Structure 1
Amino acid sequence: MTQSIAPDRGWVPSACTLPTAEQPLRLAEFDALFADAVRAVARPEQTRLRLELVLGPEHAARAAELTARENGCCSFFTFTLTVAGGHLTLEVAVPAEQAGVLDALQARAATAAA
């Protein structure tokens, strides 16, 4: 089953439990994080996205807080934030049926980071 994504809501899947009025604000938070912190975007697998972030405690804290809140309304996401070897990486994984959501998230990250 493929998850539909409403065009006016960006990458927000219909399974999201975040109130509709709050969704544009959450999108803006992700876009701001992407614009401020994303250095590289990679898609090692159809169901996994890797974002290399600018190394710094403020970016790590911001990414951790935002992804924790996102997981509260879209529990299908698995977020892994890693600091190792002088790099800060955010990996996002989804089940195969949510790959379309990851496609849209990747496009937003790449656009905002450019």
Structure 2
Amino acid sequence: MSFVVPDACTLPTAERPLRLAELDQLFTTAVRHVETISSTHVRIRLSGPAGLEATVRDLTARETQCCSFFTFDVTPEPAMGDGTLTLDVQVPAQYADVLAALAQRAGAVATATPNAA
């Protein structure tokens, strides 16, 4: 699955495949559900082992450094009792296509993962 990196991204070209691999690893191991709230807002439900929140916060902080148009909000869901997080991702309207591609990528993994709900 291809992913077009916008010109606004300042991550060096050589590092982009590594970042994409990190996102894919997170999507493969933790995505449970992807919901498109609007063209500029996607909500991703994640669940995983201890340390998932720290991993998500680290990855989203690094992604914001190079792609400042992303806004990430990580919310632990303690009522779920299983390390579930909600990751809200928002972008300005001119980056809606980038968000759609990210949601599609995460959703494809969630659909393909047997324990995804």
TM-score, L = length of structure 1: 0.87
Counting matched residue pairs gives 107
Match of 2:96 among 88, 95, 99: 99
Moved more, 80-89 or 27-36: 80-89
- Report the counterpart of residue 72 of structure 2 in structure 1: 79
Show CA shifts across 1:9-67 (max 9, x none). x1421210000000000000001000000000000111001000005432111110000
Partner SS for 1:57: coil
Gaps of 5+ in 1: 1-6
Taking a change above 3 Å as real, the CA distance of residues 11 and 49 of structure 1, as seen in their structure-2 partners, is farther
Counterpart residue type for residue 14 of structure 1? D
- Report the counterpart of residue 43 of structure 2 in structure 1: 50
Identity of aligned residues (%): 52
- Runs in 1 of length 4+ with deviation above 4 angstroms? none
Counterpart residue type for residue 33 of structure 1? L
Show CA shifts across 1:52-105 (max 9, x none). 000543211111000000000000100000013324100100001100000100
Matched, 1:61 2:58: no
- Report the counterpart of residue 29 of structure 2 in structure 1: 36
- Report the counterpart of residue 115 of structure 2 in structure 1: none
TM-score, L = length of structure 2: 0.85
Gaps of 5+ in 2: 113-117
Partner SS for 2:11: coil
- The answer (yes or no) to whether the contact 2:29–2:48 under 8 Å persists in 1 is no
Q: Distance in 2 between matches of 1:32 and 1:12?
A: 18
